Structures are given as C-alpha cells and as structure tokens.
Amino acid sequence: MKLILQAFVSLSIIVFLMAPCWATKTDDLTPTQIHRAKVLLEGRCGMCHAAPKPKDYTLQEWPGIINHMGPKAGLRQSEMDLLVKYMEYSFKNHQKAGSTSQ
Ligand code: HEC
C-alpha cells in the first residue's frame, strides 16, 4: 500500500514538472517533437538537396511530398507523420516555425 502511495506521489510530481511543456504545446506537437521534426528536415531531407522550408510548398502538397521523399530519406512511418504534423503546425504558427533554422 505504501508503495502504491509512493508511486502515486512520484507520478504527481512528474505530471507537475511536465505541465509547462504541455501548456506550450501547439495542437499535439510538443517542443521536443518540433525540434525532432526540424532535425529530420534539415539532416535527412537535406542529404540530397537543400532542406525544403515549410513555406516552399502548400499544406495540400506536403503530405504527398513527404510520402514520396520520406522513403528516400529512410524515414519511418512515424517520422513521416511527424513531419506532416510539423508542416501543419508551421503553417498555423508561421512566425515561430517558418524558418527551419535551429
Ligand atoms: C536520397 C535522396 C533524397 C532524399 C533523402 C530526399 N530527397 Fe527530395 N528529392 C530527391 C530527388 C532526386 C528529387 C527530384 C526527383 C523527384 O521528385 O523524385 C527530389 C525532389 C524533392 C522535392 C521537389 C518535388 C516536387 O514535386 O517539386 C521536394 C519538395 C523534396 N524533394 C522534399 C524532400 C523532403 C521533405 C525530404 C525528407 C523527407 C527529402 N526530399 C529527402 C532526392 C531526395
């Protein structure tokens, strides 16, 4: 019983510490996911040609481009999904995410 209580207390502390991250997330992207998407875009999509910026294409074009280019970049399905979400995020918050620079 004591152990359960301890687990509950630690969990509450974790939730409390994580709260600022959740509060700043946009839609369902956390700051960590946004960072990961930028790293993927610059590091993996920039291997063969210059890494494209979200604004280079429309929101309608992006899913097709990512599905076509993702396998070339060796991205997993989850990474491609993340990039599509990142593009949506970026279009909604263009002043913050319009640039892919770190
Ligand atoms: C293995 C090399 C390679 C990688 C990695 C790669 N690309 Fe490409 N990309 C190409 C080539 C080659 C073309 C031009 C021919 C084509 O469209 O297949 C291209 C074309 C493009 C275009 C122009 C397409 C159009 O319709 O005008 C975009 C946008 C693009 N890539 C985005 C990406 C993104 C985003 C990623 C990362 C998910 C990526 N690329 C990763 C090789 C690559």
pLDDT, position 40: 97
Task: Confirm whether 73 is domain-assigned.
Answer: yes
Task: Name the residue at shortest CA distance from atom 23 of ligand 1.
Answer: 65
Q: What is the mean pLDDT of residues 31-37?
A: 97
Task: Confirm whether 93 is domain-assigned.
Answer: yes
Q: Residue 49: CB within 6 Å of ligand 1?
A: yes
* Distance of alpha carbon 22 from alpha carbon 25, whole angstroms: 5
Helix/strand/coil (H, E, C) string of the chain? CHHHHHHHHHHHHHHHHHHHHHHHCECCECHHHHHHHHHHHHHCCCCCCCCCCHHHCCCCCHHHHHHHHCCCCCCCHHHHHHHHHHHHHHHHCHHHHCCCCC
Task: Confirm whether 87 is domain-assigned.
Answer: yes
Ligand 1 atom at minimal distance to the Cα of residue 47: 5
Task: Confirm whether 61 is domain-assigned.
Answer: yes
Q: Residue 87: CB within 6 Å of ligand 1?
A: no
Task: Confirm whether 48 is domain-assigned.
Answer: yes
Q: How many domains does the chain have?
A: 1
Q: Residue 65: CB within 6 Å of ligand 1?
A: yes
Residue 69's domain comprises 26-97
Cα 51 to ligand 1 centre (Å):
9
Task: Confirm whether 66 is domain-assigned.
Answer: yes
Q: What pLDDT, in 10s, does the model give residues 68-98?
A: 999 999 999 999 999 999 999 999 887 554 4
Question: What is the value of pTM for the model shown?
Answer: 0.75
Task: Confirm whether 64 is domain-assigned.
Answer: yes
Q: What is the mean pLDDT of residues 42-59?
A: 96
